[in-house]
Chain A
Amino acid sequence: MIFDIGHLILLTAMALAAFGIVTGYLGGRWRNTRLIQSSFNVVYVVAALVFAATVILWYGLLTDAFQLSYVWNHSERALSPFYKFSALWGGQAGSLLFWCMILSAYGAVVAYVNRDRHRALMPYVNATLLTTSLFFLVLLVFAADPFKRVGFVPPDGQGLNPLLQNFWMILHPVMLYLGYVGMAVPFAFAVAALLSKRLDNEWVRTVRRWTLIPWMFLSAGILMGSQWAYMELGWGGYWAWDPVENASFLPWLTGTAFLHSIIIQEQRGILKVWNIVLIWLTYFLVILGTFTTRSGIIESVHSFARSDVGPYFLVYLVLILLGFLWLLFDRLPLLRGEHSIDSFTSREAAFLANNWLFAGIAFATLWGTFFPMFSELLTGQRISVAAPFFNQVNGPLFLLLLLLMGVAPLLGWRHTSLSAFRKQFTFPILAGVAVGLLVFLFARSFYPIIGLAICAFVVATIVQEYVRGVIARRATTGENALAAVAGLWRRNGRRYGGYIVHLGIVMIGVAVIGNEFYQQSLSVTLARGESAQIGRYELVYDGMISERKSNRIEYHALLNAYNLDSGRRVGVITPQRNIYDKTPDMPTSEVGLHVTPFEDVYVVLNGWESGGASATFTIYINPLTLWMWIGGVVLVLGTLIAAWPHPTQRRSEVVRSLAYATGDD
């Protein structure tokens, strides 16, 4: 009964969304206040309805309503309530509902926050966001109904995919969806600007923060996904360039490019067409990614079971492609640049190079992701495009990008004089060369030396910028160094927060270099009491214990780890295997870890014999991995500093534009 209401709610939301698109569009065109108001109301009501539908499905999951096909397929009685809750995004229909819920919530927040502002833009923003909602509601109503019945009431469910029964699988999808779906908001503003012909700086200023927030979630989501892969898949790595991983990475690339190039538009009034294309591309890649992971056209360990949503997605992709291009081409004359670029050694030029590299990496990634598919289609040959391809093609581009990340902030707008050049670059280059030489002493391979030298260079530029900023503030205000840093963040968060984000990226870069070039591994079978040695660690196998949990048995192997340098015991490493009652032939793995700032000792339990008398392990030493997760936290903090409302803005909305002109470099 209640589930029929759920279905009805989705149907109502769908009809309302269609209505809201019309009122939003016409209201914007005719400047009709009542129509505009109605579009706002629709946005709120649709959000409430979709949320209600989600709650109903949650209710179904938590109360074991196995008469629902979705609950039957993705839950079971013995599942812990946490995973019953997260089973919402464990399967096709539920995750589409979740997608739609987040989207409509974004729509409501955007509408509410801007209810008295951007009067010309908002009706179109509402209409555009509702269009995306409408598409997903159509999917939920016609192709992937989360409230579909089984036809009888099964006694128990089939269980949730064991791989998804992991702590990070609760957080990671939420973050990822918040980021992924949120990219629809800046796109809606771009479309609104095009439709209303208000192509001045207004939408650009608004959209920056509405891009930063989803960008932060997307970054965090991707990193949490890596963490999950690292802990759960047990192959010693965190990123496999799998098609589904790439699907989340592609909008991140174009979104990051957009966040940078939008600054040039704000400052110099150029790249208007490019920016609009970039944000559309980001949105397009989000829909494309959702399509590829759900239609079965690409094979991946992470993809959802096949369903009939494919054709719907294709139609929608064509629609947003042609509709957007038509609109863009029609408005081209309104998108002329106001200035030009004055010099190759200007920050504008460096930002252009940044965009060029991001676009290049995005293209290579897209191409590599879809190439196996095209190859099979056109030549019939099945090939795989995995890490070796992406590392070889993207690796050098990422290095260049890293270098540019250090160079660009040191260049002035419009032009950099030779003396300024010398003043800005001396210290960072020295730092880079010093670290490069230091690495050369230990390891003579090209990429790590260059990579780590560049990392040092970038860190030095960031330190130099901070030192200069602090000195300048202390000269004027006389506050102490810490207060000066806080002052920089408060007064100039965009710039100094941005540097923190860059610092986070460098940390991630260092971790990647460490793992890519200095990973060690060892496969051994150990009888109880035997030991294995890897790097500066010795591991002694101490037997196994098992533990019965509600829906699985956990097997833990105990390994005592000793540091050979210090001769001390550093702890117990317990790699683990879970055998789930519902899927006994799919034992999952939880790696055992000993984490230090220098390296992770990472142990996978491959198997055992005679109840644990002997066991087989793969042991990895993963250098510097911890810095990837620290870098992720730093990146999020930096984004928050950059996105935090400016103090002068908070005081008054009137002086907003003034604050933007003066407060930000």
Chain B
Amino acid sequence: MHRIKHALLFLLVGALAFLAVLSPGNAELAIAQTDAASSSTDVRMTQNSATANSVTPNEVNEVAKELWCPLCNGVRLDACELKACEQMRDMIAEQLAEGWDKEQIKNYFIEQYGPQVLGAPPLEGFNWLAWILPFVALAGGGVFLWRTVRRMVTSRPQEAAIAMDGASPSVADEYSRRLEEELKRYG
């Protein structure tokens, strides 16, 4: 059996080495290297190129980091490359330039796009459940464990008694069985 396990491990290590050596970069042909300038495809600038005011992309991202793209799933606004997100960042830049603070901007986003722009459920209504239930479950489990262990710890000196208790059901069952039998016979 162990020989098989060794063989499996060797196979695994071998396969890893094989993949590492023949990584896809090597497996492909580089056809031509040209200067990017000769290519007509520019990739759009996505980091707030349009805003001609004094707000820096870093200041924008400071806010955008705490918002989530409403068009994607689980992509943070500062890292999102959709045009819509780019426009949203432009909007943040404009709002910052007008002197809005982070909370005001976040509230504006919630009003416009709904609470899904936040990375966590806002603390209201049904959403409380999201925050509370994990801790309720944890506390419940903790109390249950604590009580179980304490019962075990305190009842330790009477281990013999526990053994008796454990044996009692069969005794009781036996008793009731006999009772049944006698009732049948005489009743």
Question: Which residue numbers of A lie inside 8 Å of B, CB to CB?
Answer: 80-83, 109, 112-114, 165, 167, 170-171, 233-236, 240-243, 299-301, 336, 340-344, 349, 352-353, 356, 359-360, 363-364, 367-368, 371, 375, 378-379, 381-389, 392-393, 397, 521-525, 543-550, 553, 555, 577, 579, 587, 606-613, 616, 618, 640, 645, 649-650
Query: Given known contacts A234-B79, A342-B153, A616-B47, is B145 in contact with A356 (CB within 8 Å)?
Result: yes
Question: Chain B residues near A609 (CB, 8 Å)?
Answer: 42, 45
Interface string of B125-163 (1 = CB under 8 A from A): 111011101110110011001000100110110010010
Question: Chain A residues near B141 (CB, 8 Å)?
Answer: 356, 359-360
Task: Give the residues from 45 to 92 in chain B that come closer than 8 angstroms, CB to CB, to chain A.
Answer: 45-49, 56-58, 60-61, 66, 68, 72-76, 78-79, 81
Name 22 A/B residue pairs within 8 A (Cβ), A-sorted: A167-B24, A234-B79, A301-B72, A349-B149, A360-B134, A360-B137, A371-B121, A375-B121, A381-B114, A382-B115, A384-B117, A385-B119, A385-B121, A385-B130, A525-B47, A545-B35, A548-B32, A606-B45, A607-B44, A610-B42, A612-B37, A645-B2
Q: Which residue, B75, B122, B155, B162, has most C-beta atoms of chain A within 10 A?
A: B75
The answer to whether A389 and B37 have CB atoms under 8 Å apart is: no
The answer to whether A341 and B4 have CB atoms under 8 Å apart is: no
Give A241 to B12 CA distance when docked, in angstroms: 29
Give A577 to B73 CA distance when docked, in angstroms: 22
Contact of A553 among B16, B39, B149 (CB under 8 A): B39
The answer to whether A388 and B119 have CB atoms under 8 Å apart is: yes
The answer to whether B42 and A608 have CB atoms under 8 Å apart is: yes
Contact of B134 among A243, A367, A587, A608 (CB under 8 A): A367
The answer to whether A549 and B120 have CB atoms under 8 Å apart is: no
Give A549 to B30 CA distance when docked, in angstroms: 6
> Is B33 on the interface with A (CB-CB < 8 A)?
yes
Query: Given known contacts A523-B58, A525-B47, A606-B45, is B36 in contact with A612 (CB within 8 Å)?
Result: yes
> Is B43 on the interface with A (CB-CB < 8 A)?
yes
The answer to whether A606 and B81 have CB atoms under 8 Å apart is: yes
The answer to whether A301 and B75 have CB atoms under 8 Å apart is: yes
With both beta carbons as reference points, the residue of chain B lying nearest to A618 in the complex is identified as: B47
Query: Given known contacts A367-B130, A611-B39, is B73 in contact with A299 (CB within 8 Å)?
Result: yes
> Is B19 on the interface with A (CB-CB < 8 A)?
yes
Give A240 to B78 CA distance when docked, in angstroms: 14
Question: Chain B residues near A83 (CB, 8 Å)?
Answer: 24
Query: Given known contacts A522-B58, A608-B43, A611-B39, is B120 in contact with A386 (CB within 8 Å)?
Result: yes
With both beta carbons as reference points, the residue of chain B lying nearest to A342 in the complex is identified as: B156
Give A364 to B120 CA distance when docked, in angstroms: 13
Q: Which residue, B16, B79, B133, B142, has most C-beta atoms of chain A within 10 A?
A: B79
Contact of B42 among A235, A378, A543, A611 (CB under 8 A): A611
Give A340 to B72 CA distance when docked, in angstroms: 52
Question: Chain B residues near A606 (CB, 8 Å)?
Answer: 43, 45-47, 81
The answer to whether B39 and A393 have CB atoms under 8 Å apart is: no
**Min C-beta distance of B79 to chain A, whole Å:** 3
Give A242 to B72 CA distance when docked, in angstroms: 12
Give A555 to B76 CA distance when docked, in angstroms: 24
The answer to whether A383 and B19 have CB atoms under 8 Å apart is: no
Question: Chain A residues near B38 (CB, 8 Å)?
Answer: 611
> Is B179 on the interface with A (CB-CB < 8 A)?
no
The answer to whether B36 and A544 have CB atoms under 8 Å apart is: yes
Question: Chain B residues near A336 (CB, 8 Å)?
Answer: 166
Count residues of B near A (Cβ-Cβ below 8 Å): 80
With both beta carbons as reference points, the residue of chain A lying nearest to B59 in the complex is identified as: A523
Give A360 to B137 CA distance when docked, in angstroms: 7
> Is B185 on the interface with A (CB-CB < 8 A)?
no
Q: Which 8 A-B pairs have the closest CB atoms?
A: A235-B79, A611-B37, A523-B57, A364-B134, A389-B120, A386-B119, A340-B152, A544-B36
Give A544 to B43 CA distance when docked, in angstroms: 12
The answer to whether A525 and B49 have CB atoms under 8 Å apart is: yes
The answer to whether A608 and B45 have CB atoms under 8 Å apart is: yes
> Is B118 on the interface with A (CB-CB < 8 A)?
yes
With both beta carbons as reference points, the residue of chain B lying nearest to A209 in the complex is identified as: B5
**Min C-beta distance of A523 to chain B, whole Å:** 4
Q: Which residue, B34, B36, B156, B166, has most C-beta atoms of chain A within 10 A?
A: B36
The answer to whether B27 and A235 have CB atoms under 8 Å apart is: no
Query: Given known contacts A301-B72, A367-B133, A645-B2, is B120 in contact with A548 (CB within 8 Å)?
Result: no
Question: Chain B residues near A387 (CB, 8 Å)?
Answer: 119
Give A353 to B142 CA distance when docked, in angstroms: 8
The answer to whether A607 and B31 have CB atoms under 8 Å apart is: no
Question: Chain A residues near B79 (CB, 8 Å)?
Answer: 233-236, 618
With both beta carbons as reference points, the residue of chain A lying nearest to B162 in the complex is identified as: A340
With both beta carbons as reference points, the residue of chain A lying nearest to B60 in the complex is identified as: A523
The answer to whether A607 and B42 have CB atoms under 8 Å apart is: yes
The answer to whether A340 and B155 have CB atoms under 8 Å apart is: yes
The answer to whether B24 and A235 have CB atoms under 8 Å apart is: no
Question: Chain A residues near B2 (CB, 8 Å)?
Answer: 645, 649-650
Question: Chain B residues near A363 (CB, 8 Å)?
Answer: 134, 137-138
> Is B29 on the interface with A (CB-CB < 8 A)?
yes
Question: Chain A residues near B130 (CB, 8 Å)?
Answer: 367-368, 371, 375, 385, 389
Question: Chain A residues near B171 (CB, 8 Å)?
Answer: none
Contact of B57 among A109, A167, A524 (CB under 8 A): A524
The answer to whether B33 and A545 have CB atoms under 8 Å apart is: yes
Question: Chain A residues near B34 (CB, 8 Å)?
Answer: 545-548
Contact of B76 among A235, A356, A371, A543 (CB under 8 A): A235
With both beta carbons as reference points, the residue of chain B lying nearest to A589 in the complex is identified as: B81
With both beta carbons as reference points, the residue of chain B lying nearest to A236 in the complex is identified as: B79
The answer to whether B121 and A607 have CB atoms under 8 Å apart is: no
Question: Chain B residues near A367 (CB, 8 Å)?
Answer: 130, 133-134, 137
> Is B111 on the interface with A (CB-CB < 8 A)?
no
The answer to whether B46 and A616 have CB atoms under 8 Å apart is: yes
Contact of A547 among B33, B76, B155 (CB under 8 A): B33
The answer to whether A170 and B24 have CB atoms under 8 Å apart is: yes
The answer to whether A525 and B36 have CB atoms under 8 Å apart is: no
Question: Chain B residues near A236 (CB, 8 Å)?
Answer: 79
